[in-house]
Structure 1
Amino acid sequence: MRYLILLTSLFIGFISCQEDDLLTSSSAKLEFSTDTVMFDTVFTGIGSATQRFKVYNRHSQPIRISSVELAKGNSSQYGINVDGVSANQVKDVQIEANDSIYVFVEVNIDPSTDDIIEKDSILFYTNGNIQDVKTIAFGQNVNLLMGQSLNTQTWDATRPYLVYTSCLVDSLETLTIEAGTKVYFHENASLFVLGSLIVNGTLDEPVLFKGDRLEEFYQDKPGQWGAYTTLENGATYVFGGLHFLPGSFDNKIDYAIIKNANKGIQLDSAVGNNYTLEITNSIISHMNLAGIYAQTSRVKGENLVLNNCGSHAIAMVLGGKYNFNHVSIANFTPYSSRNTASVALNNYFVSGDVGFVYDLEEATFTNSIIYGDGGENGNEIVIDKADEGAFNYYFDHCLIKVSEDFDMSNENHFQNILRNPESGPRFVSKEEYDFRLDTLSPAIDAGKAEYGAATPLDMNQNDRTTDAGPDLGAYERQQ
Structure 2
Amino acid sequence: MRQYFALLIFGIILAFSSCRTDFDTVASSGDLKFSKDTVYLDTVFKNIGSSTYQLKVYNRSKNDISIPTVQFKKGLNSKYRMTIDGMSGNEGKIFKDVTLLAKDSLYIFIETTADITDANPTDFLYTDEIQFDSGANLQEVALVTLIQDAIFLYPNQNPDGTKEKIKIDGKEVDGFYLSENDPTNGNELLFTNDKPYVIYGYAGVPENKTVTFEAGARIHFHANSGLYVGNNASLQINGTTSKTDKLENEVIFEGDRLESLYSDIPGQWKSVIFEKGSTNHAINHLTLKNAVIGLDFRSPSNTIEIKNSQIYNCAEYGILAQNAQIEGENIVINYAGLASLSCVYGGNYKFTHCTFNNNWSTPSQFAVNLSNSLAGATPETNPLTQATFNNCIIYGSSTNEFNLSKNTSASFVYQLNNCLLKFSSSTTNPNYQFKTDTEHYTNIILNENPKFYNVSENKFNIDKTSSAFAKGNQAYIIPTDILGITRTSPPDLGAYQSQDFPKK
Q: TM-score range by the shorter chain?
A: 0.7 to 0.9
| 1:253 matched residue in structure 2 | 283
Indicate conservation of the 8 Å contact 1:200/1:207, yes or no.
yes
Change over 3 Å in CA distance of 1:443–1:6 after alignment to 2: closer
Aligned to 2:126: 118
Instruction: Count the aligned residue pairs.
Output: 447
Shift in Å, 1:155: 1.4
Q: Which residue of 2 aligns with 1:387?
A: 408
Contact 2:70–2:130 (Cα < 8 Å) also in 1: yes
The answer as to whether partners of 2:30 and 2:138 remain within 8 angstroms in 1 is no
Q: Is the 8 A contact 1:185 1:210 kept in 2?
A: yes
C-alpha contact (below 8 Å) 2:309/2:330 kept by paired residues = yes
Say which of 363, 378, 384 aligns to 1:360. 384
CA distance in 2, matches of 1:332, 1:120: 42
Give the number of the structure whose residues are more often strand, by fraction.
1
Q: Which amino acid aligns with 1:281?
A: N
**Structure 2 segments unaligned to the other structure (5+ residues):** 1-6, 156-175, 181-188, 243-248
Partner of 2:359: 332
- In the alignment, what sits opposite 1:56? 58
- The worse-fitting range, judged by mean Cα deviation, of 93-102 and 301-310 is 93-102
Work out whether 1:306 is the aligned partner of 2:333: yes
Q: CA deviation at 1:445?
A: 2.6
Residue matched to 1:412: 439
Q: State the AA in 2 paired with 1:95.
A: L
Distance 1:258 1:122 in 2: 38
**C-alpha separation between the residues in 1 aligned to 2:264 and 2:195?**
23
Conserved in 1, the CA contact under 8 Å of 2:30 and 2:139?
A: no
Q: 2:468 aligned with 1:443, yes or no?
A: yes
Instruction: Go from structure 1 to structure 2 and tell me whether the alpha carbon gap of 1:101 and 1:428 turns closer, same or farther (over 3 Å shift).
Output: closer
Please say if 1:38 is aligned against 2:40. Answer: yes
Distance 1:67 1:166, change over 3 A: farther
Q: d(CA) in 2 for partners of 1:97 and 1:252?
A: 65
* Residue number among 479, 486, 503 corresponding to 1:463 in the alignment: 486
1:450 partner SS: helix
Distance (whole Å) between structure 2 residues aligned to residue 294 and residue 328 of structure 1: 17
Measure the CA separation in 1 of the matches of 2:373 and 2:10: 88
Among all aligned residue pairs of Structure 1 and Structure 2, give the percentage whose two residues are the same amino acid. Answer: 37
* Structure 1: tracts of 5 or more residues without a match: 227-240
Cα gap change, 1:246 to 1:142, in 2 (>3 Å): same
Q: Who is 1:296 aligned against?
A: 323
Map of 1:235 onto structure 2: none
Rounded to whole Å, the distance in 2 between the matches of 1:108 and 1:410 is 61
Superposed, which structure 2 residues align to 1:365-384 within 5 Å?
365-374=389-398, 378-384=399-405
Is the 8 Å Cα contact of residues 25 and 99 (structure 2) preserved in structure 1? no
1:294-333 residue CA offsets vs partner (Å, 9 max, x unmatched): 1122222101111232321100111122111110123223
- Tell me what 1:136 maps to: 144
Per the alignment, residue 230 of structure 1 pairs with none
2:63 and 2:19 mapped to 1: Cα distance?
11
Per the alignment, residue 84 of structure 1 pairs with: 87
Choose which of 369, 381, 387 in structure 2 pairs with 1:344.
Answer: 369
Offset at residue 201 of structure 1 (A):
1.0
Q: CA deviation at 1:369?
A: 0.9
Q: CA 1:370–1:396 in 2, change beyond 3 Å: closer, same or farther?
A: same
1:225 aligns with 2:269: yes
1:131 and 1:22 map into 2 onto residues whose CA distance is 23
Shift in alpha-carbon separation, 1:341–1:198, aligned structure 2, 3 A: same
**Separation (CA, whole Å) in 2 of partners of 1:23 and 1:127:** 20
Deviations 1:423-472 (A, max 9, x none): x22333434433222112232232222211xx2222222333x53x2221
Aligned 8 A contact 2:358 2:396 in 1: yes
Q: How far, CA to CA, are the matches of 1:367 and 1:26 in structure 2?
A: 69
Partner of 2:99: 94
Q: 2:343 aligns with which of 292, 312, 316?
A: 316
- The aligned counterpart of 1:207 is 251
**Which SS does the other structure have where 1:122 is aligned?**
strand
Residue pair 1:163, 1:184 contacting (<8 A) in 2 also = yes
Decide whether the 8 Å contact of 1:160 with 1:184 is kept in 2.
yes
**1:398 to 2:400 alignment:** no
| Residues 410-433 of structure 1 deviation map (CA, whole Å, 9 limit, x = unaligned) | 333222212223xx2233343443
Q: What TM-score, normalized by structure 2, do the two folds share? A: 0.81
> Pairwise CA RMSD of aligned residues?
2.9
Aligned residue type for 1:269: S
Amino acid at match of 2:397: D
Deviation at 1:21, TM superposition (A): 4.1
TM-score (norm: length of structure 1): 0.85
* Residues in 2 aligned to 1:267 and 1:459: alpha-carbon distance in whole angstroms: 22
Measure the CA separation in 2 of the matches of 1:420 and 1:99.
55
1:395 deviation in Å? 1.2
1:300 match: secondary structure:
strand
In structure 2, relative to structure 1, the CA distance for the partners of 1:24 and 1:477 (3 Å cut) is closer
8 Å CA contact 1:400, 1:419 repeated in 2: yes
Cα distance in 2 for partners of 1:26, 1:442 equals: 65
Give the conservation status (yes or no) of the 8 Å contact 1:311–1:338.
no
3-state SS in 2 of match to 1:34? coil
Distance across 1 between alignment mates of 2:468 and 2:13: 85
- Residue 150 of structure 1 deviates from its aligned partner by 0.9
Q: What whole-Å deviation, never above 9, does each CA across 1:81-137 have from its counterpart, x for those lacking one?
A: 233325122323333454443322211222446661111112222898332222111
SS in structure 2 at match of 1:264: strand
Alignment of 1:184-203 (within 5 A): 184-194=220-230, 195-203=233-241
